[in-house]
Amino acid sequence: MKKISWVWGLCGVLLIFLGGCYRIIDWSKDTFYQGCFLDNEISVARQYIRTLKIYDQFDTRAIFEVLWLSDTVREVYSMIHAMHFGKDEDQKKNFLRRQLEASSHAILFYVLSLFENPLDSEDSEWTVFLTVDNTNYFPTRIKAVDMPHEYKLFWKMNQMRFKTAYEVSFDAKNSEDNCIINSNTRLLTLQFRSADKKGTVTWHIDNSGSVVCGPGTKPCYVSMRERCINGQKE
């Protein structure tokens, strides 16, 4: 009986403490200037992030957080970059133009991988390749990078913890000089493989060119400017 009373007493103290914490948080916000949030489309960019966790029984073999730098993501990045540095509308448009031009030459991903699972060395346990229309494409470059601050905003804190960021790049065109991602593309798959395990992350694209976030979800926003430099996708 005493034990039950002690437990209820402890719960009461915790409730009082937690209630006090909320009041302290409110007080701190009212007392210390928090700055003003800028309007942005981070939620749009986050729809392009995919997570892959691979286990061996209860042990974690690998965790990959992947962001496809589509034209839409680059548009959001350009908007935040312009606000960050106070660029005017012309400067913003020029910066976005350069971003879209870079996108027309390379298919780019940011991949976060656990420290113990490096991706940029020849003896890395995990390999990465891209599959589009049942054809595999191999990276032209995998490089550990420090992402721009604007891109770091797209990730939640727990996604970045204990991980290294890599830039994984593929040619935007195949050997016949045709765009790998075109108006007929419906599925974009990034493959991760070790000697005994494999996993994938995917982006589904519907008939209108919109990326579908997942089963039963509404299409994600995708700019119709997301096209190859030769105008295959209008």
- Within a domain: 75: yes
Supply the pLDDT for residue 42.
79
**What is the mean pLDDT of each successive set of 10 residues along the chain, which is 234 residues long?**
54 53 52 50 84 92 94 89 84 88 92 94 93 95 92 83 94 93 90 94 79 51 40 39
- Within a domain: 234: no
If asked whether residues 54 and 144 sit together in one domain, one would say: yes
If asked whether residues 53 and 148 sit together in one domain, one would say: yes
- Within a domain: 166: yes
In the chain, how many domains are there? 2
Supply the pLDDT for residue 161.
85
Supply the pLDDT for residue 215.
45
If asked whether residues 176 and 100 sit together in one domain, one would say: yes
If asked whether residues 114 and 27 sit together in one domain, one would say: no
Supply the pLDDT for residue 213.
60
If asked whether residues 50 and 150 sit together in one domain, one would say: yes
Residue 150's contacts (CB-CB under 8 Å, 6 or more residues apart) are 77, 80, 81, 84
If asked whether residues 89 and 175 sit together in one domain, one would say: yes
- Within a domain: 221: no
If asked whether residues 68 and 135 sit together in one domain, one would say: yes
Residue 230's contacts (CB-CB under 8 Å, 6 or more residues apart) are 179
- Within a domain: 224: no
Residue 207's contacts (CB-CB under 8 Å, 6 or more residues apart) are none
Supply the pLDDT for residue 189.
95
- Within a domain: 1: yes
Taking the C-alpha atoms of residue 67 and residue 80, their distance in angstroms, rounded to an integer, is 17
For 92, counting Cβ atoms within 10 Å of its Cβ (0-12 exposed, 13-18 middle, 19+ buried), the class is: middle
If asked whether residues 94 and 154 sit together in one domain, one would say: yes
Provide the residue range defining the domain that includes 7.
1-35
If asked whether residues 101 and 16 sit together in one domain, one would say: no
If asked whether residues 164 and 208 sit together in one domain, one would say: yes
Supply the pLDDT for residue 12.
57
